[in-house]
Amino acid sequence: MATLNHDAVNFRVFVELARRNEVGTGSVNRIPLLVESINITTAKQVMNMGVPFSGAVRGESLNLAFDMGQASKTINISGVLVGQNIKKQKSTDVAATSTNLTAYELAQLMHSYVDSSSFQDDQNMSKLIILIPSRADENFAYHSNDTEDADIQDLPLIPFTWKNRGYDNDFASLGANSKYYDEYTNATSGENNRDDVTIGVTGFIRSFNTTFAGTEVDSCTFTLDFEEALVIADNFLD
């Protein structure tokens, strides 16, 4: 199987290293993934308590729920790792390195990164980007006159997030959420969701599993469990 190059394949799912916050465009400090399925779970955390003696008084028990706006958010991804090109860059002072890795090397690389910590910017896979087709902006207006009836493969792409549209946000003081619904572009300046700075889901990888099969040459299946969170990444040892 030939080595895949990020620029030649229309990837839609990426994991980004924390180093990307400082330096990187295109596929630098970003690992594109060939994905077969994505499972997204939002589990609301509501304190639900029964009212004592409510059944004796009312003939029916009563529960009181306290919704304090908490939820656990997880993304499970299944796909295939293949031999592909990986680009890394530590700073703007040095040139990026570009290396072709086998599928097994890529699996080992990602396992070692998951085994690391948020203190290591060159190892910490801190952001997951999933690009999805979109017709409407934050105000439920079409992105353009074409997006109302365009085929789904021709629609603009936006990154998946849990951010509500500004139209539905009653707390005006929080500001609009237009940047979460801006079209992803290959530009490197001006737009919010551009190539070098893309909004995604921040958090950490809870588990990463790979399967090596003798019948498949230079490829292996994988599953990845990602949990949304604001990760404390300051290195107090430095």
The domain in which residue 209 lies consists of 6-42+69-133+197-228
Cβ-based burial of 18 (10 A; exposed 0-12, middle 13-18, buried ≥19): buried
Question: What is residue 114's three-state secondary structure?
Answer: helix
- pLDDT tier at 234, thresholds 50, 70, 90: low
Rounded Cα distance, 105 and 86, in Å: 11
User: What DSSP state is assigned to residue 112?
Assistant: H
At 196, is the pLDDT very low, low, confident or very high (cuts 50, 70, 90)?
low
In a domain, 98, yes or no: yes
Q: Are strands 63-82 and 201-211 parallel, antiparallel or unpaired?
A: unpaired
DSSP state of 101: E
What is the predicted pLDDT for the residue at 76?
A: 97
**Cα–Cα distance for residue pair 69/46, rounded to 1 Å:** 8
Pairwise CA distance, residues 9 & 153, whole Å: 15
Cβ(199)–Cβ(207) below 8 Å: no
User: Is 147 contained in some domain?
Assistant: no
pLDDT in tens, 197-218: 678 999 999 999 999 988 878 8
Secondary structure letter of residue 194 according to DSSP: -
Residue in 156, 147, 163 with CA at minimum distance from that of residue 199: 163
In a domain, 53, yes or no: no
Q: Quick check: is 216 in a domain?
A: yes
Q: What tokens does 202 get? A: 């921040």
**Nearest of 135, 122, 113 to residue 208 by alpha carbon:** 113
Could you tell me if residue 182 is inside a domain?
A: no
Report the pLDDT averaged over residues 87-97: 92
CB atoms within 10 A of CB 188: 12
Answer left, alpha or beta for residue 186, where phi above 0 means left and psi between -120 and 50 means alpha. Answer: alpha
pTM: 0.84
In sequence order, what are the beta bridge partners of 203?
228
**Domain count along the chain:** 1
- How much is the pLDDT for 136? 92
3-state secondary structure at position 91: coil
In a domain, 163, yes or no: no
For the stretch 138-161, pLDDT in tens is: 889 999 889 999 999 999 999 999
Q: Which two tokens stand for residue 42?
A: 């939002």
What pLDDT was estimated at residue 8? 42
Alpha-carbon distance of 182 to 166, in angstroms, equals 12
SS3 for 6?
A: helix
Quick check: is 104 in a domain? yes
Query: Reduced to 3 DSSP states, what percent helix, strand and coil does the chain have, rounded to the nearest 5?
Result: 15, 40, 45
User: Each residue of 13-28: pLDDT tens digit?
Assistant: 999 999 988 888 888 9
Question: 77 with 210: CB under 8 angstroms?
Answer: no
CB within 8 Å of 98: residues ≥ 6 apart: 85, 86, 87
- Would residue 202 count as lying in a domain? yes
